[in-house]
Chain A
């Protein structure tokens, strides 16, 4: 099997403070991987460094066997929702249209073809009736679906999502999961930073557990057991047992 993501001995730090420590792993085509770990474990940082948004101190990242910069068009990223100016004068439709920018290219504008495609992506997330709304007028769950639609509009081979389910309604979460599974069925690769362990086994085939170091990367069963989890969640373990996340 071909590796979509290949990471070797990756080290990333913020101003000398190391957050990702000697991480190596491979993600295969068509997998749906959840990245889990406690707060401050470097999950988001790992994703950002795959995208080259944060410089790495050491190590190697290959995506589709190449440098990230050479394959950007194939990678869609849905960052944490909070980073945006919600009063920006942009409609839902124009937000989704941004996903077509990389293929449209410099000095050109999205035409009918791109607009039709963006509308179709909006339809997939069930928000075509909201196309002319200003982005801040939507609920949190709807906004997240819009950003997923933007990612779809990019026609990506690899999707990276950072905590997509935080602060959104159940229906939106279901829609997003359904679409991700469809994409996986079409051999797209999906990596999700995720913190809600209770649903991890239902959503993902594979889990990557980290707490600065990579603790375990394997199937859900291999990761979600007491022995492995205790290495990352020393203090929270009792709580996790009570809530019956762990078998």
Chain B
């Protein structure tokens, strides 16, 4: 109740809430493809790899979005290049390149700015969201949703059956880099809400929750977006009421939702599965 009144009262809280809801939504949508393609680690990598881009953007006084997308996509391309052209496995290539980009980013930020800024970039500071940031997030959200809708068939097919996609003349690589670009944009949008370190949680946890609840990709995407938004609202409520770090609180809420699905999903939940198994045994022993 107090939370609702505060929202009506404080503009900064409205912006915070609105921004985190949009972030929750688009993280869920993109995250669905990330987990289905087995690219969770890639999600973590890209989110860390935007740091040098953010630092560069500060240095040159341009919008941090541009630099972030640049270094994010560059790292994605670099990872692809190293793993395809050497005997280094994909996860190792990811590990090497994203930590180096991140390390470079930390050095650059500490050279350019105070450590407070680094702290905010790493862990988010949703209550300090400015109007311009909010609109960048909304813009990114719009681009992401429209792109996923427009290329839904192609995203589904290249994720499910890349061989057939290629036989249909689809360029799997192009779709991959399209997704990497969207992923980078989503990461940038999430910087202020949950921060670099926890973005990956917003990408994969709501999507994984949805994955346990449905056998249809379209429904999974809606559910994942829904869980992302729900986590943002509940998380922000607890964060405001008990004065907790907002990003971390949102992530904890998302995780609680995940474990509820993990236990109680009608089809894939641990509890129902064991009940069904027991029923079967009882039935047969009669």
Complex: how many Å from CA A102 to CA B168? Answer: 7
Tally the A-B contacts, defined by beta carbons under 8 Å.
62
- A77–B164 CB distance below 8 A: yes
- A101–B168 CB distance below 8 A: yes
- Is A171 positioned at the interface, with any CB of B under 8 Å from its CB? no
Assuming the contacts A72-B167, A109-B153, asked whether A94 and B216 have C-beta atoms less than 8 A apart, the reply is: yes
- Is B161 positioned at the interface, with any CB of A under 8 Å from its CB? yes
- A84–B161 CB distance below 8 A: yes
Secondary structure of the B side of the interface?
helix
Complex: how many Å from CA A75 to CA B163? Answer: 14
- B160–A84 CB distance below 8 A: yes
Partner of A90, one of B38, B167, B215: B215
- Is B61 positioned at the interface, with any CB of A under 8 Å from its CB? no
Complex: how many Å from CA A77 to CA B161? Answer: 12
- A85–B36 CB distance below 8 A: yes
Q: Could you say which interface size class chain B belongs to?
A: 20 to 34
- Is A175 positioned at the interface, with any CB of B under 8 Å from its CB? no
B164: min CB distance to chain A, Å: 7
- A79–B150 CB distance below 8 A: no
B251: min CB distance to chain A, Å: 24
Assuming the contacts A98-B157, A98-B164, asked whether A69 and B216 have C-beta atoms less than 8 A apart, the reply is: no
- A88–B163 CB distance below 8 A: no
Secondary structure of the A side of the interface?
mixed
Complex: how many Å from CA A194 to CA B110? Answer: 63
- Is A134 positioned at the interface, with any CB of B under 8 Å from its CB? yes
A143: min CB distance to chain B, Å: 12
- B215–A89 CB distance below 8 A: yes
Complex: how many Å from CA A75 to CA B166? Answer: 12
Residues of chain A within 8 A (CB-CB) of B166 are 51, 53
Assuming the contacts A69-B169, A72-B167, A72-B169, asked whether A89 and B214 have C-beta atoms less than 8 A apart, the reply is: yes
Assuming the contacts A69-B169, A109-B153, A134-B215, asked whether A98 and B163 have C-beta atoms less than 8 A apart, the reply is: no
Closest residue of A by beta carbon distance from B267: A134
- A101–B167 CB distance below 8 A: no
Number of A residues near B (Cβ < 8 Å) is 25
B276: min CB distance to chain A, Å: 14
- Is A104 positioned at the interface, with any CB of B under 8 Å from its CB? yes
Within 8 A of A (CB), among B236-254: none
- A77–B167 CB distance below 8 A: yes
Partner of B217, one of A90, A109, A150: A90
Residues of chain A within 8 A (CB-CB) of B160 are 84-85, 88, 90, 95, 98
Residues of chain B within 8 A (CB-CB) of A247 are none
Residues of chain B within 8 A (CB-CB) of A102 are 168-169
- Residue with the greatest number of chain B CB neighbours at <10 A, chosen from A53, A69, A98: A98
Closest residue of A by beta carbon distance from B167: A77
B263: min CB distance to chain A, Å: 19
Complex: how many Å from CA A101 to CA B161? Answer: 13
Assuming the contacts A72-B169, A101-B157, asked whether A91 and B164 have C-beta atoms less than 8 A apart, the reply is: no
Complex: how many Å from CA A92 to CA B241? Answer: 47
Complex: how many Å from CA A91 to CA B154? Answer: 17
Residues of chain B within 8 A (CB-CB) of A77 are 163-164, 167
New A-B pairs, 6, CB < 8 Å, besides A84-B160, A88-B159 = A53-B163, A77-B167, A89-B214, A101-B153, A107-B150, A109-B152
10 closest A-B pairs by beta carbon, nearest first, are A134-B215, A77-B167, A72-B169, A79-B163, A88-B160, A89-B215, A89-B220, A89-B217, A51-B167, A53-B166
